[in-house]
Amino acid sequence: MEKLMLLGDEALAQGAMDAGMSGAFAYPGTPSTEIMEYIQRSKQANENNIHRTWSSNEKTAVETAIGMSYAGKRAIACMKHVGLNVAADPFMNSAFTGANGGLLIIVADDPSMHSSQNEQDSRFYGKFAMIPVLEPSNQQECYDMAFYGFELSEKYHVPVLIRLTTRLSHSRAGVQTRERRAQNQLKFPDDPNQFMLLPAIARKKYKNLINLQKDFVAEAENSQFNQADLKAKENKLGIIACGLAYNYLKENYGNQEVPYPVLKICQYPLPVDQIKQMYDAVDEILVLEEGMPLVEDMIKGMAWQGTKKIKGRLDRTIPRDGELNPNLVAKALGLPDNPGVAIPDIVAPRPPQLCMGCPHADSFKALNEAMEQYGKGHVFSDIGCYTLGFLPPYHAINSCVDMGASITMAKGAADAGLYPAIAVIGDSTFSHSGMTGLLDCLFDKSNVVIVILDNSTTGMTGGQEYTGFSKLEEICFGLGVEKEHIRSFVPLPKNKEDMVRIYKEEIAYNGVSVVIPKRECVQILKKKYKMEE
């Protein structure tokens, strides 16, 4: 037992290992990446033979975790919030199959979109799947919830969703560890049909899940992570604070007691009785929650809602979008707020950008030149460092929607008659979900040029391995791209003429072309250089 300084992500990872996890499965994505990275670095994981390789995408990660759970062992699957969209199919169905070995689906949301294309709230997925959701408010709870999550999962044979947000994922604090649990032995499910979702069985499974709901609520009512403090000085206001929002509430009162009744909620489904008790005792309720107004909406929708006011994001007591902070909570509480001095006008924005010497920069410059005669609006792109090719000085791409969408959107636009239709996708993103789109193009003989930027890593998240590494040409050829239309070059200023020519030749070809600019990410090179130093 020791005290460690850990990021929220790392605390969860350490907790899962100490709680007897046998495998972690994930695809990198900010702010979740550090969970897997921590486990991969861990000596303890090595000594205990904990499985910990990256998956092709979040769907394969969740499915693999379900498989490990089937075999009786404890598993986690980790991803960022939009990754759960990719994994939604196995995730939703895992609520029906339930778990054998403990199964945690860990999802890190990114309110305010620091590194994401939306700020969806994963608690909705938990409610949708009708499974318990844990939302830690600090690093210690991250650690403790890994233990508790596995216990809950094995007690009810149900997967448990753990929801993090950016500020906790990437904030470091002291965490007290506890006695380690052994891993489970290999063990078939007691019911051989547990993971068989043929309609006749699935209907029974659904009834079973419905019957479990009252137990899940009872667990939340008695949870160590939910605290009702209803003995307060003033009853004109009751506060429901979920996850991190609880800290912002406490911050505003320092070492003093909050003068109102407070309900801290870190475990769902909602503890209905506790909320009802508070509702009866106070004049109005303020809901503080990070993300979308899930709790606020549910309380407003409850049948016993009378005339009392429910305040939160929906009535703009808190802004409808963006992450919380102590000042927004102060304002909502009617406390004096100190906004500080304004940012001086002289301060210029400093957006992220491609690194000095980045291979993508050369690839974009040549592509821009090859595309000059066609004007703007032809280049569909994807999720990764190269999305920064949208910004000056490149202005090279026109879309960024979801992992893999560059290829299929280019196909759709080509199907509509757009020429040329170019897709620009990273090597790791192509492995994640580009291959099926390429197959669509080949099946339909679409007139597209697919540029796979091969920098040999998953760059934006800090350089992780990916499953299709060093096999891109073979994959494309295997899927059916003609050999003479799989082109490769080294993106360097001195090769620009060749690069432009190759792009132009493939744009001229009426069919599916793949162009692969191939040069290692400069950040990875730097890391290697540092290691040798």
Partner 1 sequence: MKKDIILAGVGGQGILTIATLIGYAALKRGWHFKQAEVHGMSQRGGDVQSHLRLSENPIWSDLIPFGAADMILSVEPMEALRYLPYLAGDGWIITNSNPFDNIAKYPELDAIHARIKSIPNHVLLDADSIAKEIKANRSMNIVVLGAAAKHLGFSKEELEQAITAIFARKGDAIVEANFNALQAGLQKG
Q: Does 336 bind partner 1 (CB under 8 A)?
A: no
Among 211, 256, 307, 338, binds partner 1 (CB under 8 A): 338
Residue 138 CA to residue 174 CA, distance in Å, equals 10
DSSP labels for 303-345?
TT--S-EEESTTTTSS-SSS---HHHHHHHTT------SPPPT
Decide: is 340 part of the binding site for partner 1 (CB under 8 A). yes
Q: Site for partner 1 (CB under 8 A): which residue of 34, 144, 154, 427? A: 34
Give the angle 9-10-13 at the CA atoms, nearest 5°. Answer: 95
User: Is residue 172 near partner 1 by the rule CB under 8 A?
Assistant: yes
Site for partner 1 contains 167 (CB under 8 A): yes
The one among 287, 332, 388, 405 contacting partner 1 by CB under 8 A? 388
Q: Is 350 in the site for partner 1 (CB under 8 A)?
A: yes
Based on the shown chain and the rule CB under 8 A, indicate whether residue 174 belongs to the binding site for partner 1: yes
Peptide bond into 326 cis (omega under 30): no
Dihedral-angle region of residue 316 (phi above 0 means left; psi in -120 to 50 means alpha; beta otherwise)? left
Q: Smallest distance from the beta carbon of 170 to partner 1, in angstroms?
A: 5
| Structure-token pair, residue 139 | 């690093």
Given 192, 199, 301, 344, the residue binding partner 1 (CB under 8 A)? 344
* Nearer residue to partner 1 within complex by CB, 10 or 296: 10
Residue from 14, 22, 30, 429 that binds partner 1 (CB under 8 A)? 30
Shortest Å distance, C-beta 151 to partner 1: 27
Determine if 161 is a binding residue for partner 1 (CB under 8 A): no
Binding mask 190-229 for partner 1 (x = CB under 8 A): ----------------------------------------
Is residue 168 within the footprint of partner 1 (CB under 8 A)?
yes
Q: Is 247 near partner 1 (CB under 8 A)?
A: yes
Q: How many CA atoms lie within 13 A of 14 on its CB side?
A: 23
Residue 146 lies near partner 1 (rule: CB under 8 A): no
How far apart, in whole angstroms, are the C-alpha atoms of residue 383 and residue 397?
A: 12
Q: Is 401 in the site for partner 1 (CB under 8 A)?
A: no
Phi, psi of 450 (to 5 degrees): -110, 115
DSSP 41-90: H-HHHHHTT-B--B-SSHHHHHHHHHHHHHTT-EEEEEEEHHHHHHTHHH
Residues binding partner 1: what is the number (CB under 8 A)?
49
Q: Which stretch binds partner 1 (CB under 8 A): 62-70, 144-152, 384-392, 439-447?
A: 384-392
Which position has the token pair 């890994």?
146
Residue number with CB closer to partner 1 (63 or 323): 323
Residue from 371, 460, 499, 502 that binds partner 1 (CB under 8 A)?
A: 460
| Residue number, 88 or 391, with CB nearest to partner 1 | 391
Among candidate residues 74, 291, 90, the one with its CA nearest the CA of residue 185? 74
Strand pairing category for 103-109 and 160-165: parallel
Q: Of 94 and 455, which CB lies nearer to partner 1 in the complex structure?
A: 455
Token look-up 């379900």 returns 66
The token pair at 301 is 């929708």
Site membership for partner 1, residue 464 (CB under 8 A): no
Contacts of the segment 522-526: beta carbons below 8 A, 24+ positions apart = 522/355, 522/356, 522/357, 522/358, 522/359, 523/355, 523/459, 523/462, 523/463, 524/455, 524/456, 524/457, 524/459, 524/463
Under the criterion CB under 8 A, does residue 170 sit at the interface with partner 1?
yes
**CB closer to partner 1 out of 93 and 115:** 115
Asked if residues 292 and 314 have their Cβ atoms less than 8 Å apart, the reply is: no
The verdict on 255 binding partner 1 (CB under 8 A) reads: yes
Question: Using CA atoms, how far apart are residues 424 and 285, in angstroms rounded to an integer?
Answer: 49
Q: Which of 303, 348, 416, 531 binds partner 1 (CB under 8 A)?
A: 348
Give me the residues that bind partner 1 (CB under 8 A), please: 5, 7, 30-31, 33-34, 114-115, 167-168, 170-174, 244, 247-248, 250-251, 255, 325-327, 330, 337-344, 346-355, 385, 388, 392, 460-462
